[in-house]
Structure 1
Amino acid sequence: MEMFGYSIESIYLFLLIAGVILTILYILIGDLLEGLMNIGIDGLFNPITIIGYITLVGGFGYVLETIAFFMAPWTILVINLLISAIVIILVNYFIILPFKRSEKNTSYSIKELKGAVGEVFTTIPADGFGEIIISRPHGTVSKAAKSFDGEALPEGTNILVIDIDEEGVFLVSKHYD
């Protein structure tokens, strides 16, 4: 069968190659494409699904044309379009969208740590500096600290962050549970 003057196998192969090239381009400039093309209901027509559909149509079509020689080309085309659509919708809803929803921002503002409870990692002398650690949902923060009350805080002491000075040094006090 021919479409647009080309054999259907050639068209499928072209779509497969175009999908692979678009995938590589998406890896390189995906954020720009996503900003320009993210339209539709809950990102249904985002670049990942469009590129994936093109690649699947090309790949499934080429394989079906090669191995299903007993079927009519129009039947193969319809089956191919339906299978590709079902696969890309399943991949979108069960893999792509959950990953997008689960993206968390691991950055934090130093001001968010005021009032946080932590632990002295390196002893804080009465008139000097030490180090504290504060557990966060996405890891542990280690910061330079000095005593707010002017008392020495030995290693392992639970502390409360009272303030943060201009240089980013934490002013801490002993925390009583």
Structure 2
Amino acid sequence: MLIVYWNCLLFGIAFAVITLVIGEVIGHWLDSAAAALHLDHFDFMQPIVIVGGITTFGAAGIIFHKYTLLDVTLIAILAVLIALVLSAAIYIFFVRNMSKAEHSIGHSVGDLVGKAAEVSVTIPTLGYGEIIIHTNSGISNYPAVSFEGLQIMQGQKVVIVELRGRDFAVSELNI
């Protein structure tokens, strides 16, 4: 059984070293495999949780085997329990919190189509003005043209109709 513990420990160490070198590739491969196996809704099945549990199982087994006189079965049970507790702690205190932090407050300009804005610089009939958009990341200014070719005065509420290159085509918002 000692060989199993050492293999688990060495696997975990090797996985950690390899992850440092090519972590993105492994992460993408494991995400694809989880999606193919329909495990993507089990967010606790993250590689860090699983490999952390395997590594902990190996380390605990080695320590109990070397420094105690416990029965082989009891050592295996204790190693599994310690691995489960540590894996749960990794998930609760690291994985779950980091997955919440992955959500960005940034936005794509294409996502702003259909949003309301305010004209900050009057938009002439055949020219450019400027609009202000309130987003999760703050207030942004963008160049804009009139969708209908009508003048839109400063302070008027508008809706973004489409993105034309890097500029927005807007229409007056009648509330």
Deviation digits for residues 44-92 of structure 1 (CA, Å, limit 9, x no counterpart) = 54433322222222343445556xx234262333211111023213533
Give the Cα–Cα distance (whole angstroms) in 1 for the partners of residues 12 and 111 of structure 2. 51
Give the Cα–Cα distance (whole angstroms) in 1 for the partners of residues 164 and 174 of structure 2. 27
- State yes or no: 1:172 paired with 2:140: no
Aligned to 1:135: 134
Deviation digits for residues 104-143 of structure 1 (CA, Å, limit 9, x no counterpart) = 58655737622x221234x134242122122234555543
The aligned amino acid for 1:96 is V
- State yes or no: 1:124 paired with 2:122: yes
Aligned to 2:153: 153
Per the normalisation by structure 2, the TM-score is: 0.65
Give the Cα–Cα distance (whole angstroms) in 2 for the partners of residues 92 and 113 of structure 1. 38
- SS of 1:72's equivalent in the other structure is coil
Aligned to 2:17: 21
- State yes or no: 1:89 paired with 2:84: no
1:70 to 65, 68, 71: 68
How large is the RMSD of aligned CA atoms in angstroms?
3.9
- State yes or no: 1:36 paired with 2:21: no
Deviation digits for residues 11-61 of structure 1 (CA, Å, limit 9, x no counterpart) = 464244234235436723101222114544832544333222222223434
- State yes or no: 1:56 paired with 2:56: yes
> Is 2:122–2:153's contact at 8 Å kept on the other side of the alignment?
yes
> Is 1:120–1:158's contact at 8 Å kept on the other side of the alignment?
yes
The sequence identity of aligned pairs, in percent, is: 22
Q: How many residues align?
A: 167
The aligned amino acid for 2:33 is L
Give the Cα–Cα distance (whole angstroms) in 2 for the partners of residues 25 and 159 of structure 1. 51
Per the normalisation by structure 1, the TM-score is: 0.64
- SS of 1:134's equivalent in the other structure is strand
The aligned amino acid for 2:23 is I
> Is 2:122–2:152's contact at 8 Å kept on the other side of the alignment?
yes
The aligned amino acid for 1:28 is E
Extract unaligned runs of 5+ from structure 2: none
Extract unaligned runs of 5+ from structure 1: none
Question: Residues 168 and 28 of structure 1: is their aligned pair in 2 closer, same or farther, counting only changes over 3 Å?
Answer: closer
